[in-house]
Structure 1
C-alpha cells in the first residue's frame, strides 16, 4: 500500500518543507525510478532532515505517490479534458481530445511531469500504478473509449476499442517515452513554438484516417 498523510495546513511552517521534498523527489524519481531512489538523496536535495519524509508522507512510498498525485493534479487543472456542446461532430471532438492529450503529456512548458513519471511507473510498476490508473488514467481512457464506441458503433468489441485507443495514445506517448530518440530525428521539436500544434494535427489526421480504414475492415468482416 501507498499511504499518504494529509497535507499540512497552508499556513503551517511545514508546508515549505513538504513542497521542497516533492520538488526534489520529482527529479530523483525521474532520474532513478522509485526503487533505486535513495531518500537521503531526496532530503539532501530538498535541504530537509530524513525524518521529514516520514513526518509528511509516512515514508518513501507515500512520498512517491504524493509526487505522482501532485503532477497529475497540475496536468488535470492546466489541461482539463474538453467539454463539448451537443451536436458537435465526432471528428471535432476527437481532435480536441488529441490536442488535450498532446499538451497534457508532451508540453515541455507544462510544470506537470506526469507523462514522464507515468512512463517510468508503467515500465517498472509499483502498487502506485493501480492508484494512478484509477485516479488519472481511467478518466482519460473512458473519454477516448466513448469516442471510439461512437465511431465503431455500440456493438463494437472491447478489444477493438482498446486497440484503437492504444494506437492513438501510442503516437503521443512516443514523444514522452523516447525523447532521446525523437531528438536524434527531430532536434528542434521540443523547442519549436509550433511543435505541439503540429504533433496534435498529425496524430489527429493520421488516426482519423486509420480509424475509418479500420471501420471499413470491421464492416467487411461482418458482411462476410
Structure 2
C-alpha cells in the first residue's frame, strides 16, 4: 500500500521508528493469535495491544492474513532453507549434521515466552487449520523432514526413503520438537532444565548423542535383518 494514503502521523512513525512499530505489531499479534486463534482476533485488538494505528497493519503486513503469516515465520528469525543447506552439506559427518540440526531448532527456546506462544499458535493451527497450514507444512515441516531423511539415508547407505527411514527421521526430529511441546511441563517439574541459555545448549548436546544412538540402533537393526535374509 502506498504511504500517501496513510495518515501523516503513521507515515512519520514508520520513518522514525518503523522497525520498532512493526515488531510491536508482530508480537502483539502472536500473543493474541496464540491465545484466541485467527478468526477470533481482530486487527483493532492487535493495534490496541501494540499501541499502534490500525492502518499500520496494512502498511507493514498488507492485511490480517499477511500479519498472521508473519507470526509463523518471523519470531524465531532465520530461514529454514538456510538451516537445511547447513546440515545437508556434502561430506558432513553425521554428528556434525545432527549438531547443526539440533542447535538450529533449539535456538528458538532461548526466546522464552515467545517460544511458548509460537508453539500454541502451531497447535491451534493443527486443530483449526487456516490457509497458512499448507504453507507451514511445506516450508517448515516437510522440507526439513525430507532433508534430514536424505542425510540419514546417506549415512545408513540406503538408496531411497523407506518406512523405517521416515520412522527414524520423525524420531530424531521429535527429540527437538518435544521440548517445545512440553515446555510448560518441563518448567513445572524441573524448571532448571530450561532456565538458561547454557541449559538449552546442554539439551542440544544431549540430543545429538540421543540422535546418534537412534541412528546406530537403526543401523544395527538393518544389519540383523540383512543377515536373516541372506540365510
TM range (shorter): 0.7 to 0.9
Does residue 33 in structure 1 map to residue 37 in structure 2? Answer: yes
Q: Distance in 1 between matches of 2:26 and 2:159?
A: 45
- C-alpha displacement at 1:161, in angstroms? 2.2
The structure 1 residue matched to 2:130, chosen from 121, 126, 129, is 126
Gaps of 5+ in 2: 5-10
2:172 — aligned with what?
Answer: 168
1:191 — aligned with what?
Answer: 195
- How many correspondences in the alignment? 215
Does residue 215 in structure 1 map to residue 219 in structure 2? Answer: yes
Does residue 107 in structure 1 map to residue 123 in structure 2? Answer: no
Contact 2:103 2:204 in 1 (8 A): yes
2:78 — aligned with what?
Answer: 75
Q: In 2 relative to 1, CA 114–93 (structure 1 residues): closer, same or farther, beyond 3 Å?
A: farther
Gaps of 5+ in 1: none
Instruction: For residues 20-77 of structure 1, give each alpha carbon's deviation from its aligned partner in whole angstroms, at most 9, with x where no partner exists.
Output: 32232122122223233233321211233445445654542222012223236x1339
Counterpart of 2:78 in 1: which secondary structure? helix
**Larger proportion of helix:** 2
Give the superposed CA RMSD: 3.5
Larger Cα Rg: Structure 1 or Structure 2?
Answer: 2
TM norm structure 1:
0.76
Contact 1:71 1:114 in 2 (8 A): no
Contact 2:125 2:133 in 1 (8 A): yes
Deviates more, 1:152-161 or 1:192-201: 152-161
Does residue 200 in structure 1 map to residue 204 in structure 2? Answer: yes
2:155 — aligned with what?
Answer: 151
Counterpart of 1:205 in 2: which secondary structure? helix
Contact 1:94 1:147 in 2 (8 A): no
